Amino acid sequence: MSLKNQSIVIYLAIVIVPSIFLSGCIAPSDESPASRTTDTVSSTWMDIELTDVATQETFTISDFKGTPILLDSFAVWCPTCLQQQRKMAELKERKGAAIIHISLDTDPNEDENNVKEHIETHGLDWYFAISPIELTNALIEEFGLQVVNAPSAPVVLICEDGSARLLTSGVKSADELLAAIDEGC
């Protein structure tokens, strides 16, 4: 590699790449992604078709309008995600079909076989789907990168009217999830 090419590589490594990463740390407004809510007009991501891994049935998030929805973004390798899903299972056991549970695998390296094995191994029984890249990108645009940060146990609460908000990070108990629905919808 010539000296000129080495200089370019060093410049990219020292100036450009860190600038790209740091630009994501600067908030465009005082509103944090976790406090953002959506309205029904801008939420076209709710109309993206998904396929339930267990049943192969297709559905959209908007199919469940009129019922509270807990949408968790996860990866099968993530123990924190599994902890959150166990709390969601506890809530499902208590509330049944009064709350819709949808788990979206947002890890682009995982496929239906990985997810199917995950739900069978852990006895989970609600909607599980691989998130299409357009849905993953729309969620990031709507709620920020935290929505796909699996270890932060991201859960989006979608209310009966279609409004949505990203709940606080960390594993949320069944009681905390229920309180969020009661307070936020």
- Whichever domain contains 56, its CATH number is 3.40.30.10
Within 10 angstroms of residue 168's Cβ, the number of other Cβ atoms is 14
**pLDDT of res. 183:** 87
Q: Are strands 58-59 and 50-51 parallel, antiparallel or unpaired?
A: antiparallel
The model's pTM is 0.75
Residue 11 lies in a domain: no
What is the rounded CA–CA span in Å between residue 139 and residue 45? 7
Coil, strand or helix: which one is 165?
A: strand
Q: Return the higher-pLDDT residue of 43 and 109.
A: 109
- Please count the structural domains in the chain: 1
Give the structural domain span for 103.
31-184
Structure tokens at 46: 């709710």
Q: pLDDT, tens digit, for every residue of 14-38?
A: 433 333 333 333 333 333 334 444 4
Mean pLDDT of the region 89-117: 94
**pLDDT of res. 1:** 54
- Tell me which residue of 68, 84, 91, 102 sits closest to 149, measured CA to CA: 84
Residue 120 lies in a domain: yes
Residue 110 lies in a domain: yes
Whether the CB-CB separation of 90 and 124 falls below 8 Å is answered with no
Mean pLDDT of the region 87-104: 93
Beta bridge partners of 101: 70
Residue 132 lies in a domain: yes
What is the rounded CA–CA span in Å between residue 2 and residue 41? 54
Structure tokens at 134: 């357009």
Residue 14 lies in a domain: no
Q: pLDDT, tens digit, for every residue of 45-54?
A: 999 999 999 9
Residue 123 lies in a domain: yes
The beta strands (E) that lie in the chain are given as 37-38, 50-51, 58-59, 69-74, 100-105, 127-130, 155-158, 164-166
Q: pLDDT, tens digit, for every residue of 115-169?
A: 999 999 999 999 999 999 999 999 999 999 999 999 999 999 999 988 999 998 8
The CA dihedral of 176, 179, 184, 185, to the nearest 10 degrees, is: 120
Range scoring the smallest mean pLDDT among 35-39, 42-46, 175-179: 35-39
What 8-state DSSP symbol labels residue 19?
H
Phi and psi angles of residue 38, each rounded to the nearest 5 degrees, phi first: -110, 160
40 has a pLDDT exceeding 70: no
Residue 104 lies in a domain: yes
Residue 179 lies in a domain: yes
Which uninterrupted H or E stretch holds 79? helix 79-95
pLDDT band at 97 (very low <50, low <70, confident <90, very high): confident
Q: pLDDT, tens digit, for every residue of 52-89?
A: 999 999 999 999 999 999 999 999 999 999 999 999 99
